[in-house]
């Protein structure tokens, strides 16, 4: 595990100080009232669905209700800012995403929250495989090497769809272009649904999409899955190679992910208890099964591991944003 950096040490000291200031009774009885789990995106999306699955199980384990509150809008700014300003007492938490905590800090020059200072990391919760899918009727490739060769022979003639500018379905293909020296034209949509619909219709030729959205069309034969961008092959598709295998790049890893946070200053013992509860929930067979049905892979880990992972993700996507000259909407 990486050594705790200066920011993490300051957060830990602040948490311990805050906890010491709490009355003894408050320290011993947490949680004694419902917990608010904020999702900085509208209801029905993958972050929201993950939050509801984990939140219910977490409430059962802690023996207190966990209410999911959707505060969407402005690329996650509104919900994240709300949590950052909330009392650090263990009763406000956040389920956030790669976009809010990994991409936004490098995509926007100014944010109303500091992803690394305004929150205490609790745990990585799930990773969501991104799969490379093509419409075989309009893009005549069957493997990733064939795709790379086709793109190099036909620069800027292939369009890729995404769920919107600056999201994972936009930046993962930009990362692929960056690593392979290829070019494609980005066509942003307002959500994965319209993008996949146009992919199936042949309006765009390729997408780097979540497994959940693409699966029905892969199974019907309308789309062909070339690779998965996670480090390991998917159990449901054992014959589909990872991008690392297909390209011979062992470090190619570009999953989407969701993680849980609390406001900075939340007492360290509460952080530790929440982390332990999240790990226990993720190990429950019924939760793992439900997440798998949603195309998500349970992750877990310590708060320090999430903090280090988040910084590494910001560095990685910052390089992609700079190389591809990605600009926010």
Q: What is the pLDDT of residues 176-212, one digit of tens each?
A: 998 999 999 999 987 778 899 999 999 999 999 887 7
pLDDT value for 7: 59
E strands, the chain, in order = 35-39, 66-70, 92-97, 119-128, 130-134, 159-162, 185-188, 206-210, 224-228, 256-263, 297-298
Q: Would the pLDDT of 10 be above 70?
A: no
Q: Predicted confidence band at 123 (pLDDT cuts at 50, 70, 90)?
A: very high
Which pLDDT belongs to residue 251? 83
Are 261 and 119 in contact by the 8 Å Cβ rule? The answer is: yes
* d(C-alpha 74, C-alpha 325), whole Å: 21
CA atoms within 13 A on the CB side of 186: 23
Query: Is the pLDDT confidence value at 26 over 70?
Result: no
pLDDT band at 49 (very low <50, low <70, confident <90, very high): confident
pLDDT at 14: 55
Q: Does pLDDT of 222 surpass 80? A: yes
Q: Centre a 10 Å sphere on the Cβ of residue 270 and count the other Cβ atoms it contains.
A: 23
Q: Is the pLDDT of residue 18 over 90?
A: no
| pTM exceeds 0.85 for this model | no
* 6-128+256-324 and 130-247 in the same fold: yes
Segment 282-303 mean pLDDT: 88
Topology given in CATH for the domain delimited by 130-247: D-Maltodextrin-Binding Protein; domain 2 (3.40.190)
Domain residue ranges of the chain, discontinuous segments joined by +: 6-128+256-324, 130-247
3-state helix, strand, coil in the chain (%, to 5): 45, 20, 35
- Domain 6-128+256-324 belongs to what topology? D-Maltodextrin-Binding Protein; domain 2 (3.40.190)
pLDDT value at residue 16: 53
pLDDT, tens only, 89-121: 999 999 998 989 999 999 998 899 999 999 999
Question: Which one has a higher pLDDT value, 314 or 250?
Answer: 314
Residue 328: pLDDT above 80? no
């Amino acid at each position: 595990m990486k050594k705790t950096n200066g920011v993490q040490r300051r957060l830990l000291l602040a948490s311990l100080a805050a906890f010491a200031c709490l009355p003894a009774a408050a320290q011993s009885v947490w949680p004694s009232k419902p917990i608010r789990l904020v999702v900085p995106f509208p209801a029905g999306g993958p972050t929201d669905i993950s939050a509801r699955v984990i939140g219910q199980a977490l409430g059962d384990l802690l023996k207190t209700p966990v209410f999911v509150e959707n505060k969407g809008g402005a690329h996650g700014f509104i919900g994240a800012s709300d949590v950052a300003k909330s009392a650090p007492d263990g009763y406000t938490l956040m389920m956030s995403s790669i976009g809010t905590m990994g991409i936004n800090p490098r995509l926007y020059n100014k944010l109303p929250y500091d992803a690394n200072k305004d929150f205490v990391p609790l745990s990585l919760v799930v990773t969501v495989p991104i799969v490379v899918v093509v419409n075989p009727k309009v893009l005549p490739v069957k493997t990733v090497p064939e795709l790379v060769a086709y793109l190099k022979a036909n620069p800027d003639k292939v369009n890729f769809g995404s769920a919107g500018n600056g999201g994972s379905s936009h930046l993962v293909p930009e990362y692929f272009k960056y690593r392979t020296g290829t070019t494609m034209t980005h066509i942003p949509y307002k959500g994965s649904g319209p993008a996949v619909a146009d992919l199936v219709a042949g309006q765009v030729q390729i997408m780097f999409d979540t497994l959940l959205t693409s699966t029905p069309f892969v199974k019907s034969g309308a789309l062909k899955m070339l690779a998965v961008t996670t480090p390991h092959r998917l159990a449901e598709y054992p014959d589909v190679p990872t991008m690392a295998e297909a390209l011979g790049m062992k470090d190619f890893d570009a999953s989407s992910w969701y993680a849980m946070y609390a406001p900075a200053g939340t007492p360290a013992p509460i952080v530790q208890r929440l982390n332990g509860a999240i790990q226990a929930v993720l190990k429950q067979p019924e939760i793992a099964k439900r997440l798998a049905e949603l195309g998500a892979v349970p992750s877990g880990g310590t708060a320090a591991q999430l903090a280090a992972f988040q910084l590494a993700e910001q560095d990685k996507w910052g390089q992609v944003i700079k190389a591809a000259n990605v600009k926010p909407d």
